[in-house]
Structure 1
Amino acid sequence: MIRCILFWLSLLAVPAQADAIRLVDDAGQILEFSQPPHRIISLAPHLTELLFAVGAGAQLVGVDSASDYPHAAQALPRVGDASRINFERILALKPDLVIVWVGGNRAVDIHGMKKMGIPVLHTQATRLDDVARLLRLLGRASGHAGEGETAARAYSVRLEAQRVRAGKKPPVSVFYQVWDRPLMTVGGTHWISDALALCGARNVFADLRALAPMVSREAVLRRMPEMMMSGSDAPDMRRQWQRFASLPAVKNRAFVRVDADVLHRLTPRLIEGVAGLCAAVAPYR
């Protein structure tokens, strides 16, 4: 009889153990939770969107000032932005996990939260495939591993469906202008470079390692891009470049603006941005 009771008690203990979480974040830090975090703060808009995508939206108690998607995120308390974090507001929200973007959030702010004893999950993201990886990571971190896995697989399938098969023609050379003053582009480690390659194009500054390097006008002219692209959040580039008649992009009248809201964020909606990018490249292939 006693053995029977002990057996059933051991079964009752299994769900509590199953809720325990142990994972390694993108900084190599090990995080352990006896149960899924119930009060999460996100400090980047793409992280907020990813958390909603894995079913953890109800666990969010605070976000950065740029988190505007999905609509429910707009009602959440704001705790700062990439340039400054309000530590008092964060403490008042009593988070049991803060999720940060290494490179997007200031190192001093991340260090400050860790000094206050707040568990911090570090994430990094630079490539298209990072969306699926982060969906899995944030799914596990929030206690929604199954939803994270499902969302990750769906994203990967949709991304692969966008891939343009290599043809006999060389890829279209593209200059992607992030901003005009200073003149900025994307380097080879940026997901937009990945997206261009997937669409049958080539970033003319793919040899640069920085995510968003500054370049000179002369450097752009030397690389002779066949297309010039920019996000919808940047100034129109036509006026700046049309006077350079020898530039292939000018001859081709190949100036394209794409939806920055979906292309510039590493979330499942990035598929829409990639689709728009591929559609823009297609007429010039």
Structure 2
Amino acid sequence: MRVVSLVPSLTEAVALTRPEVLVGATDWCTHPDGLDVDRVGGTKYPDLDRVLALRPDLVLLNEEENRRADADALVAAGVPVRVTFPRTVPGALTELGDLVTALGVTTAPDWLVAARRAWADPPRPATPRRAVVPVWRRPWVVLGGNTFAGDVLRRLGVVNAYADDAERYPRPTLDEVRARDPELVVLPDEPYRFTADDGPESFPGVPYALVSGRHLTWYGPSLAEAAALLTDQLAGAR
């Protein structure tokens, strides 16, 4: 089997489960450390000629991270694709289990066992906190409803102020965000790299927590440590 992954989360999953089958990944696939495979460009605009040159038996994609046009082009070229799109933690764990099976592995790898255990009963505060979760600025983009990251936070006791929004990633003005009167602002370090300056500058007087964007949005092996790490980071709100 020869696998090309266009999804950083799944690249890490394959590399830690059956590293010998992973022959290609995107430039954004940064985990595990020292990953040594052919690179095929970005997630949004991969070099499909380079993908095809690797003669993959399977290409891994995500409905949100990758373009439908690239998936269609690969299918038209006769390449099997596997498209994921988890919106909840249980959904992600199910899709990861299915991927492991598709890789020909009959026993759940240690990282998947640990992830299932970690999210079976994650830590959460006694009193949920109402928060806004910016994921970009210039323009401002916040986490809306029906998102994987939103479900991660909900399970850790964070109530997303935009959870009921019809848009998965609303684009309110900063004044509109402030008008939601959040009790907490959650600032991830990716895809936009928020820093400690962004909290008091944009949301004066509101506690903010800097969190790992990878552990908030990736749905691979990082899930095994995400619950504990994010809980600590949220508890450090200042």
Do they fold alike, i.e. is TM over 0.5? yes
Question: Match for 1:65 among 27, 37, 56?
Answer: 27
Question: Match for 2:130 among 161, 169, 173?
Answer: 173
Unaligned runs of 5+ in 2: none
Q: CA deviation at 1:265?
A: 1.1
Contact 1:195 1:277 in 2 (8 A): no
| 1:263 counterpart residue number | 216
Q: Does 1:94 align with 2:29?
A: no
Unaligned runs of 5+ in 1: 1-37, 243-249
Distance 2:210 2:234 in 1: 11
Question: Match for 2:84 among 123, 127, 141?
Answer: 123
TM-score, with structure 2 as normaliser: 0.88
Q: Does 1:156 align with 2:112?
A: no
Distance 1:266 1:210 in 2: 21
Q: Residues 50-105 of structure 1, C-alpha deviation per residue, up to 9 Å, x if partnerless? A: 1123x2221011111111101242x1101121221212212221111111111211
Q: Percent identity between the aligned chains?
A: 26
Aligned length: 232
| 2:66 counterpart residue number | 105
Distance 1:213 1:41 in 2: 32
Question: Match for 2:8 among 45, 66, 73?
Answer: 45
Q: Please, what is the CA RMSD of the aligned residues?
A: 2.1
Distance 2:88 2:154 in 1: 12
Distance 2:96 2:194 in 1: 32
Q: Secondary structure at the match of 1:70?
A: coil
Q: Does 1:185 align with 2:142?
A: yes
Which residue identity does 2:134 align to in structure 1?
Q
Q: CA deviation at 1:187?
A: 1.3
Q: CA deviation at 1:214?
A: 1.4
Q: Does 1:215 align with 2:186?
A: no
Distance 1:72 1:112 in 2: 30
Q: Residues 228-261 of structure 1, C-alpha deviation per residue, up to 9 Å, x if partnerless? A: 111123233221222xxxxxxx1xx512111223
* TM-aligned CA distance change 1:92 to 1:255, over 3 Å: same
TM-score, with structure 1 as normaliser: 0.74
Q: CA deviation at 1:113?
A: 0.7
Contact 2:140 2:173 in 1 (8 A): yes
Which residue identity does 1:141 align to in structure 2?
A
Q: Secondary structure at the match of 2:108?
A: helix
Q: CA deviation at 1:119?
A: 1.2
Q: Does 1:277 align with 2:238?
A: no
Which entry has the higher C-alpha Rg, 1 or 2? 1
Contact 1:48 1:67 in 2 (8 A): yes
Q: CA deviation at 1:215?
A: 1.7
Higher relative contact order (CA 8 A, sep 6+): 2
4+ runs deviating over 6 angstroms: none
Q: Residues 125-173 of structure 1, C-alpha deviation per residue, up to 9 Å, x if partnerless? A: 222223311221111111013235x6444312112342327x4x4x211
Distance 1:69 1:145 in 2: 23
